[in-house]
Each structure stands twice: as C-alpha cells, then as structure tokens.
Chains A and B, each alone.
Chain A
C-alpha cells in the first residue's frame, strides 16, 4: 500500500469545492425554508382574513355606527372599535364598561376604511431585504 500525504493542489481543489458547496447548501436550505414559511403564512392569512371579515360583518350588521369615528360601533351598550397596535396586531376592542380585546390578525401593515369597505394589508418579513404583502378588500356595505 502506498502512503503519501496530499499535495497542495489537492488541498486547493478540496477547499475550492467546499467554498462552493457550503454556500450552495446554505442557500438551498434558505430557499426551502422561505418557501415553506410562505405557504404557512398564506394559510395563516386566509384564516385571519376570515376572522376579520366575520367580526366586521357582525358589527356592521348589529351595531350602530359612531359619528365621527371610522370602524367603531355601539353594540349592546358597548363601544366596539378596531385598532392596530405598534406590533401590527389588529384587535377588536370593547371600551368601558364592557372591557375586553380580541386579537384578530398579526403582521397588519394597513387597515383602513375605503369606499364600500375596508382594506387590510398583511405583511410577512422573511428577511430584512425581503417582505411579502397581501392586500385584501373586504366589502362592508353588502348585506
């Protein structure tokens, strides 16, 4: 059996292959992880859209709009309003005396009254340089 040490050329080839392979594997894993995470986010967005739609529709149908305030109703003696906090959580809040809040959606970057309905924008930050947005129009004037 011949035993010999590796040459500098062999070492250079090995290192070159490793230098190419390691970022490739890392990038591949990152792409798979991002793709999978986007799929989950779409599912979560669908679920959140349904929650927001149902709550809004019930409030529009049963409540009395409060003058001068958008997305606020008087309902069974309570004041109901929708608020997006600084972390992007949309919640339906009940003012005194019926205190309470219920989170409806996360990653909310826009929630505004527009003609005939409400526009909701959900955002997912995948990495600092890449964000995904989904914008939805929820009709409210429909019965």
Chain B
C-alpha cells in the first residue's frame, strides 16, 4: 500500500464541499426567517390598510397620529387612496425585508357607508 498525505487539491475540494454545504444551510435558515418576517410585515400592513379602509367606509377622518404609529414599523410604507363613484381604493406599499426583492402591496376596495 502506498502511503502518502493529502494533496492541496484534495484539501481544497474538501473545504469547498464543507463551505458550500454550510452556506446552503445558513442561507436556507436565513430565507426562512425573512419569509416569516415578511409575513409579520404583511400583517402590520393589513392593520394599516384596515384602519384606512374603515375610515373611508364610515366617513371618519384618518388620524395622522394613528397612521404614524402604524407606519413606523413598516419600512418606506406608503398609503394611497382614490375615490370614484362611491368606491374608495386603498393601497399600502412597503419595502420587503432584506433578501427579498419583490415589492409588497395590499389593496382593498371600500364602499362608502358600508360600515354602520
């Protein structure tokens, strides 16, 4: 039997395999965390959207303070609303968490007077 040590190439291949495997595992865990965080942000955006849609339906004025408190945990959040023929379209847009590129937005149509 020929006895020799490992060559540099063999060592590099081993290190590369370990590195690639661990980066896949860490990346997958990070992706899972970001997906969960994105869901939480969606829920925050939904609170904001429901508040604005509720105000549009009942004709109550939107409170800047409440909006500010709802927006502060959503990065770059924007609320826009447009009314036409008694129907208000409220849209919330916000920046997704790090690692996710797709733009996030939610839209709801609120009919004036639909809430008691």
Binding site for B on A (CB under 8 A): 1-2, 28, 31-33, 35-36, 38-43, 45-46, 49-50, 53, 115-117, 134-139, 141-143
Contacts and interface: CB of A to CB of B under 8 A. Distances in A.
B-side interface mostly: helix
A2 B65 CA distance: 82
A-side interface mostly: helix
B77 interface: no
Q: Which 5 A-B pairs have the closest CB atoms?
A: A42-B36, A39-B36, A39-B33, A143-B58, A39-B32
B3 A36 contact: no
A26 to B, nearest CB: 13
B50 to A, nearest CB: 7
Contact of A46 (B1, B22, B43, B50): B43
Contact of B34 (A31, A39, A115): A39
B69 A143 contact: no
Contacts of B100: none
Nearest to B97: A42
Given A32-B29, A39-B29, A139 B51 contact: yes
B33 A42 contact: yes
Given A28-B26, A36-B32, A116-B65, A139 B40 contact: no
B44 interface: yes
Contacts of B63: 116, 141
B55 interface: yes
A31 B28 CA distance: 12
Contacts of B33: 35-36, 38-39, 42
Interface in B11-64: 22, 25-26, 29-30, 32-37, 39-40, 42-44, 46-47, 50-51, 54-55, 57-58, 60, 63
